[in-house]
Amino acid sequence: WGKPIEFIFSLLGYMVGLGNLWRFSYLCFKNGGGAFLVPYLLSVAVFGLPMYIFEIAIGQFTQQGKLNAWDRIPIMKGYGYACIVMTMMSIVPYMLVMAWGVIYLYHSFTSNDLPWTVCDNQWNTQSCISYKHSILEVKIFKNPLTMTTNCSLPRYYVLRLPNEQDSIYGGFNWPMLICLVLSYLSIVAITIKGIKSSGKVVYISATLPYLMIIVLLIRGLTLDGALNGISKLLIPKFEELANTQVWIEAASQVLYTYAIGFASLTTFSSYNNFNNNFYRQALILVPVGAFTSLLMGLMTFSYLGHMASVLGVNVDKILKSGPGLIFQVIPLGFSLLPLPQLWSVLFFGMFYFVAVDSVVCISSTLKGANNCQCSWTILYRPTHFMLSYINLCCHKMLTRLIQQSGIYIFEFIFYYGASGIILLLLALCESLSVGWLWDVNQFAIDLEKMTGDKLSLWFKLCYRYFIPAITSSIFLFYCAKWTPLKVGDFVYPVWANLLGWILSLCSLLWIPGVFIYVL
């Protein structure tokens, strides 16, 4: 790092992640509102903080990236390979989402109505109803269903979803390809000199999103119906806590928030001085990450509450999961405000910087993995070839994702390639490694050498007992309650879900494979 503060900004930037932007708000509303904060905050204390400290500690202690850092525990070095492969898979959906944000940002710079609110575009279908007309119809006829008929830009222009009635805008998605190339070039420019160049960019990319979130939240709180939307987010439904799925999603969201199981934290900390006090930094940064998630939820639901107030419907009628929340609902909410172009530019400008932080972290990690001087030549050479092959596949897959119905492949890769259950299994392996193989008492001694602080008894118990027990239980509940992947009304067939599990095993099998090899 050019300066130690660049490490802090890099970690802050990653916390304002793409998953937080749409995932936390939806999960909180879906799983009991304010009651969801109970398992979420417990997961932060049990999973987030202990694992966050260890991921940073192993990088700083060994001064190595994700692969070579696990020479400290050779029998578990497969964990490093598993994290690298999973991180490689995650760059495909992240790059695509970044390109989506760029195309929305481009269309926000207009002096006319925002293009997703009118029906005079070449991609609009014959059944399109303008948003203003839709609002009048909702108010007069009390029919909230018509508000979805104007989503032609995200459905047929960006996502290329099939339209059985009048499919008039097909073919290759050249605008999306241009946005994808521009996104890729911006990431290359930022990371071209490695951590020296990306460390300077985080001064802007980590702080500007926070500033924009605060501005958008203040504006959202002034809108009619905003408090109603926020109350829908925060009013607890404690009966939902009896549902095991709530606890599974809370734990997986914490792992997403803090990038546990990804390769970024270890890679970034490997650039620290050996005596950097990351222990105290983590005790501050982890609560900031939880507060950031809540701040994004408040911002999102203030606009959803205003939309619901204007349309005369409940918030749950307009709330969508996943990318639909950001690319279908929120843009329409901005169209209801004075100067809608300004708020749209601010939001998707923030979205771009959030995406930059996420993708730069992944790219820096993968660059470090490809350049590592690994002593395990028998494993490194095929792994280097595999990473290069996956990199080529990623570019091919991105080209496929911007074509017709690519959203279904996007959800497939995101769910099975870097999903919560994989992160939970990786957290299980990591906690066993530090708690029993490194030995938590020896880890405490090593941590004190670096920071001068003693490891809390709570963290020792988490590493040895709490995290292994809870992650194992969650995995068993997940297997018992497993259902096929579903996007909207489309349920993935059995063969697709089977292929998805094979995709997950591409990461996980490295752990037992290397374990057997070392043994």
* Binding positions: 13, 16, 20, 357-358
CA distance 212 to 297: 14
CA–CA separation, 408 vs 406, rounded Å? 5
Q: What share of the chain is helix, strand, coil (3-state, %, to 5)?
A: 75, 0, 25
Strand ranges in 200-339 using DSSP code E only, listed in sequence order: none
Dihedral sign computed on CA atoms, order 92, 95, 96, 97: positive
The sign of the dihedral angle between the CA atoms of 428, 430, 435, 436 is: positive
260 backbone φψ class: left, alpha, beta (φ>0; ψ -120 to 50): beta
User: In sequence order, what are the beta bridge partners of 486?
Assistant: 491
Contact between 89 and 417 (Cβ < 8 Å): yes
Q: Nearest Cα to 209, choosing from 358, 332, 93?
A: 358
Tokens matching residue 177:
């390809």
Residue ranges of the annotated binding site for Na(+) are 13, 16, 20, 357-358
Cα separation of 372 and 366, whole Å? 10
Q: Which two tokens stand for residue 496?
A: 């697709």
Nearest residue to 227 via CA among 144, 139, 298: 298
Cβ neighbours around 214 below 10 Å, total: 12
